[in-house]
Amino acid sequence: MTRPLRIQFENAFYHVTCRGNARTAIFLIDSDRKRFLELLERSIELHQVDILAFVLMENHFHLVVKTPLANLQEFMRHFNISYTAYFNKRHDRVGHLYQGRYKSFLIDADNYLLEVSRYVHLNPVRIDEYSDLSVADKKKLLMSYVWSSYGDYIFRGSRFPFLCIDDVLSWFDGSKKRYAGFVESAVDDKTNPLEMGKGHGIVGEDSFIENLRMEMAGESRREQPAVKKMIKRIEAQKICSLVAEVYNFSPEKLLKKGRVTVARDVAIDMLYRFGGMNQREIGELMGIDYSSVSVAMKRLQQKAETDRELRRKIEDIRSQVIKE
């Protein structure tokens, strides 16, 4: 049986999940969960995706993701590798952490985003261990569950600054109370909206699926983004000029093959975030291979964690790029 295509386009919504290999735990201690969320926030910033909802269970996790840059695969590849590397080192193990690749469902947001967000948030009370609890007890458990985005949706303030909750709450005119009522009305309901996506990977109305099929007509059937709509991006030349100016380089020197400098790493990072370029395209521009682009972004990330001046420069360049 063939796997559903990874359908990618800008501002698409997805449900994403990963399960531990052979259903084993992917979180052994709370510090694992904390590190998972730290790495998630780092990957969000790097790949410019939005996380609308999440829940961490013992042997799997769920995310609701929006991709302004049509880059779900790159985001998930980077994030899963990062957490696997942490987990293996922390617990002195080797090998795969997850059971195969991540699973994703494209969501017809106009019709199913709310149901998918509710499904994600209800996960903690839908395990067999709590099946005999009363509805009231399930609601209490749901509200007290720490490793979920639900608290940000129903309480004042924010525990997870990286969350983007407006897309969901806008359906309730921003009312957290109304959203809580919507979620808790199904606390004893086992309905899973993802069931309708099995086979083709799309949770949506027939009209939504048909429109996608029409857009995909003639596209390659290989495992790659099936749909890609181009929108305006900051030109690579402008980004390189801004970085070169901050570091007192000429743009030509910045792009010179063979040079490994912080300025080049910053340029690579900005081209990926704001230039609408993938790692292969950046590699061609910089005269390096695909893997070296990934290494450069990781190297910059690690250096910025301890270098306050570098963080200041990056923020300065970023704000100038955004103004463009």
pLDDT(53) > 70: yes
pLDDT(306) > 70: yes
- Enter the DSSP assignment of 5: P
Choose from 1-5, 165-169, 282-286, 305-309 the range with maximum mean pLDDT.
165-169
pLDDT at 288: 85
Say whether both 100 and 207 belong to one domain. yes
Tell me what the pLDDT averaged over the chain comes to.
87
> Of the residues 170, 185, 216, which one is the last residue of a structural domain?
216
Q: pLDDT digits over 187-198, tens only? A: 998 889 999 888
Contacts of 197 by beta carbon, 8 Å cutoff, 6+ apart? 105, 106, 203, 204
Say whether both 207 and 280 belong to one domain. no
Number of Cβ atoms within 10 Å of the Cβ of 41: 15
Say whether both 181 and 298 belong to one domain. no
Q: What is the mean pLDDT of residues 114-142?
A: 94
pLDDT at 318: 80
Q: What is the mean pLDDT of residues 127-151?
A: 94
Say whether both 125 and 40 belong to one domain. yes
End-to-end CA distance of the chain: 47
Q: What is the mean pLDDT of residues 269-293?
A: 81
CATH number of the domain bearing residue 247 = 1.10.1750.10
Domain annotation covers residue 2: no
Say whether both 38 and 177 belong to one domain. yes
20: helix, strand or coil: strand
Give pTM, 2 decimals: 0.73
pLDDT(31) > 90: yes
Q: How far is CA 273 from each of CA 75, 95, 235, 263, 303, rounded to the nearest angstrom?
A: 12, 30, 12, 15, 18
Cα torsion angle, 119, 124, 129, 131, sign:
negative
Say whether both 113 and 48 belong to one domain. yes
47 neighbors 74 (Cβ within 8 angstroms) = yes
Say whether both 36 and 131 belong to one domain. yes
Q: pLDDT digits over 55-111, tens only? A: 999 999 999 999 998 899 999 999 999 999 999 999 999 999 999 889 999 999 999
Domain annotation covers residue 272: yes
CATH number of the domain bearing residue 74 = 3.30.70.1290
pLDDT at 272: 81
Q: pLDDT digits over 141-168, tens only? A: 999 999 999 999 999 888 999 999 999 9
Could you give the CA distance from residue 7 to residue 224 in angstroms, rounded to a whole number?
8
In DSSP notation, 139-205 reads HHHHHH-SSBSHHHHHSSS-S-TTB--HHHHGGGTT-HHHHHHHHHTTTT----GGGGGTTT-EES-
pLDDT(30) > 60: yes
pLDDT(231) > 50: no
Say whether both 29 and 142 belong to one domain. yes
Domain annotation covers residue 44: yes
Domain annotation covers residue 4: no
Which amino acid makes up residue 90? R
> Of the residues 216, 251, 267, which one is the last residue of a structural domain?
216
Say whether both 184 and 318 belong to one domain. no
Helices (H), the chain: 30-47, 72-90, 109-122, 135-144, 150-154, 166-169, 176-184, 206-216, 236-246, 251-254, 262-274, 279-286, 290-306, 308-323
Q: How confident is the model at residue 220 (pLDDT cuts 50, 70, 90)?
A: very low
- Enter the DSSP assignment of 24: -
Could you give the CA distance from residue 7 to residue 211 in angstroms, rounded to a whole number?
13
Number of structural domains the chain divides into: 2
Backbone angles phi, psi at 62, to 5 degrees: -130, 140
Copy the structure tokens of residue 274: 């704001």
Q: How confident is the model at residue 206 (pLDDT cuts 50, 70, 90)?
A: confident
pLDDT at 122: 97
Number of Cβ atoms within 10 Å of the Cβ of 145: 17
Q: How confident is the model at residue 173 (pLDDT cuts 50, 70, 90)?
A: very high
Say whether both 23 and 169 belong to one domain. yes
Q: How confident is the model at residue 25 (pLDDT cuts 50, 70, 90)?
A: very high
Say whether both 64 and 212 belong to one domain. yes
Domain annotation covers residue 140: yes
Number of Cβ atoms within 10 Å of the Cβ of 25: 15
Q: pLDDT digits over 239-262, tens only? A: 888 888 888 888 788 877 766 688
- CA R_g for the chain: 21
pLDDT(222) > 80: no
Domain annotation covers residue 6: no
> Of the residues 165, 185, 216, which one is the last residue of a structural domain?
216
Percent share of the chain, pLDDT over 90: 52
pLDDT at 227: 41
Cα torsion angle, 213, 216, 217, 223, sign:
negative
Domain annotation covers residue 223: no
Domain annotation covers residue 221: no
pLDDT at 223: 41
Say whether both 287 and 178 belong to one domain. no
More confident site: 270 or 82: 82
- Which of 71-80, 102-111, 210-219, 301-310 is the least confident region? 210-219
Range of the domain at 157: 12-216
Helices (H), 196-250: 206-216, 236-246
Q: How far is CA 16 from each of CA 73, 80, 116, 202, 287, rounded to the nearest angstrom?
A: 11, 12, 11, 12, 34
